Amino acid sequence: MRAQFVFSEVWIGLKRNLTMTIALVVVVAISLSLLGTGLLFVKQVDQTRSFWQGRVQLSVYLCTKLSASPQCTRNGPATPAEMASIHQTLAALPQVTSVIYVSQAAAYAQFKSEFPSMVSTVSPSEIPNSFEVKLKNAQTDSSIVEANVDGVPGVDQVVDNSAILNKFYKLLGGARNAVVVIAIVLIIAAILLVANTIRLSAFNRRRETSIMRLVGASNFYVQLPFLVEGVIAGMFGWLVASALLVAVKSLWLDTLQQYFPFNVQLTSTDLIEVIALVMILGVLLTGATSFLTLRRYLRV
């Protein structure tokens, strides 16, 4: 095997139809990065979902002196007796795993740590005390539990955190679907482009290949430069795609988090996983297409 010979042939091939090669690299880059983005979205949703599992799923906010809702102005702030009865009601429900009381001071402390920039605008008395409820099954149980405490004296409002989460899922899910559809269309374009580039390359070098066959070069030797050519173009596309994926993660997915009441960032391991997966796909895509095209155009 003469590696130097193969690579010089590859270089000649890539240079001869430079415009096709560039088009190929661009399309592979875009399709791979879109596909990778879709995968990152899936990972983000999964991560957020598992982050939320085993955390507070329902917050029952209690009336304070400052609460403006009608049931609070009618009854005044929640009395210790009311609070005890609400706690009991919640704890007695079979759907509930645990109930934790969060006092105004504790809530303020938490708020301070989560939103340090906004501390000056809020005083401790403005933040209501609450019960944070963990459910056995967030999807099915939240409405049952909510019905049991909603409107009970002393309860200001019940907030279902999974409802907020659902918005996030919906947003990412929709984006993912759009991105995957575009990626599939582009992958088809990439396949056609690879086939076309290889065909052009085979045509450009029909003299060389006919002589190679004549003097008894094995099929492998005749086809290898073309195969390597396709795969190298695919690898360049993949490199560009990797850069784009890093950008998608750090500039988009990570900043998206600030609009939601949690912060689940994907780790670099997740990103590397997606980039590696996309590389395998890119190599398979360009390699297999080159190979199949060659079988048609470089017969013995």
Partner 1 sequence: MIHFDNVTKTYPNQSRPALENVTLDVEKGEFVFLVGPSGSGKSTFLRLVLKEERPTEGRIHVAGRDLARLTNWKVPYLRRRIGCVFQDFRLLPSKNVYQNIAFALEVIGKPRRFIRKVVPEVIDLVGLEGKRDRMPDELSGGEQQRVAMARAFVNRPMILLADEPTGNIDPATSIGIMKVLDRINRTGTTVVMATHDAAIVDSMRKRVIELEYGKVVRDQSRGVYGQAY
Contact positions vs partner 1 (CB under 8 A): 1-2, 5, 207-208, 210-219, 221-222, 300
Which residue number, 221 or 260, has a Cβ lying nearer to partner 1? 221
| Least gap, CB of 216 to partner 1 (angstroms) | 3
Residue 62 or 222: which CB sits closer to partner 1?
Answer: 222
Q: How far is the CB of 212 from partner 1 (least distance, A)?
A: 5
Q: Considering beta carbons, is residue 190 or 294 the nearer one to partner 1?
A: 294
Q: Which is nearer to partner 1, 217 or 246 (CB)?
A: 217
Q: Which is nearer to partner 1, 2 or 65 (CB)?
A: 2
Judged by CB, which is closer to partner 1: 18, or 214?
214
Element (H, E) at 58: strand 58-62
Which of residues 58 and 227 has its CB atom nearest to partner 1 in the complex?
227
Least distance CB 1 / partner 1 (angstroms):
6
Question: What letters, b where the CB count within 10 A reaches 16 and e where it falls short, cover 273-282?
Answer: ebbeebbebb
CB of 2 to partner 1, least distance (A): 6
Report in angstroms how near the CB of residue 13 gets to partner 1 at its nearest.
Answer: 13
Least Å distance, CB 183 to partner 1, is 37
Q: DSSP per residue over the chain, as a string?
A: --HHHHHHHHHHHHHHTHHHHHHHHHHHHHHHHHHHHHHHHHHHHHHHHHHHTTS--EEEEEP-TT--SHHHHHH-SPPHHHHHHHHHHHHH-TTEEEEEEE-HHHHHHHHHHH-GGGGGG--GGGSPPEEEEEES-HHHHHHHHHHHHTT-TTEEEEEEHHHHHHHHHHHHHHHHHHHHHHHHHHHHHHHHHHHHHHHHHHHHTHHHHHHHHHTT--HHHHHHHHHHHHHHHHHHHHHHHHHHHHHIIIIIIHHHGGGTTS--PPPHHHHHHHHHHHHHHHHHHHHHHHHHHHHHHS--
- Between 68 and 215, CB nearer to partner 1: 215
Cα(273)–Cα(46) distance, integer angstroms: 15
CB of 171 to partner 1, least distance (A): 55
State in angstroms the smallest separation of the CB of 283 from partner 1: 25
